[in-house]
Amino acid sequence: MPREIRITPSILNANFDDLTGEIRRIAAVSDLVHLDVMDNIFVPNFTFDFAAASEIIKESALPVDAHLMVADADTIAPQYAEIGCASVTLHVEATKNVPATLRAIRSAGARAGLAVKPGTDISDYADVVDLVDMFLIMTVEPGFGGQSFMKEMMEKVTKTRKIIGDRPIWLQVDGGISPETIEIATEAGADTFVAGSAVFRAPDPAQMVVTLRALANAVK
């Protein structure tokens, strides 16, 4: 079955003084915009509080793919779904009740995403597969943009693809995705790609999105 490729640029390395404008620059060629929410507890970095994130989501020219790197995901994730994110991804390491929170995201009208850090096995979550709309396999330790792609995560991507089987679940990778790494990740089974610094540090961000998509499409 041919996989549809999605490019979801992360604005973590974009110009924070004009995020709405930065999203507009890549809107015509991207599927969703990836919004990294960090609370300085779950990860040693802070990006937005709920009020600031709400403003960006309200003004966004693209549907928002929220990646919550926050400690209290069970409370916070449904709130992001309620304010209109198209997709809300929580970390398994930050929730006390994975199935309940996935269900709450869906009932608030968003796609439910489940993320694992590099050290977390995905096999333990195979039993919630029917509550998941997207798996996110981190290919760096969450917290910062611009880190090196962890090729050793490709085994986990392939394992996740097997868990997904024929279901229409997206398989996202996040961290170090660039023209040098997107083909390896596609070969392993990913179909949805976060790219932060590769896109926003490129001279022409929109052209970089087009390039990444073409590289992935040539593999799948």
Interface positions with Zn ion (CB under 5 A): 36, 67, 174
Cα 16-174-153 angle, rounded to 5 deg: 155
**Nearest distance, CB of residue 139 and ligand DX5, angstroms:** 8
**Nearest distance, CB of residue 74 and ligand DX5, angstroms:** 20
Instruction: Using CB under 6 A, pick the residue from 78, 143, 189, 205 that binds ligand DX5.
Output: 143
84-111 in b/e form (b: 16+ CB < 10 A) is: ebbbbbbbbebbeebeebbebbbebebb
Nearer to ligand DX5, 130 or 190 (CB): 190
Is 174 in the active site? yes
Site string for ligand DX5, 98-137 (x = CB under 6 A): ----------------------------------------
Is 72 in the active site? no
**Nearest distance, CB of residue 22 and ligand DX5, angstroms:** 13
**Nearest distance, CB of residue 14 and ligand DX5, angstroms:** 9
The window from 71-79, 93-101, 145-153, 209-217 that contacts ligand DX5 (CB under 6 A) reads 145-153
Inter-residue contact 15 to 24 (CB < 8 Å): no
Helix axes 19-26, 205-219, angle to 10 degrees: 50
Please give the Cα distance from 8 to 6 (Å, whole number). Answer: 6
Nearer to ligand DX5, 78 or 113 (CB): 113
Please give the Cα distance from 1 to 166 (Å, whole number). Answer: 8
Sheet with strand 134-138: strands edge to edge = 6-9, 192-195, 170-174, 134-138, 111-116, 87-91, 64-69, 33-38
Instruction: Give yes or no for residue 37 binding ligand DX5 (CB under 6 A).
Output: no
User: Which residue ranges make up the site for ligand DX5 (CB under 6 A)?
Assistant: 10, 12-13, 34, 36, 67, 140, 142-147, 174-177, 194-198
Active site residue ranges: 36, 174
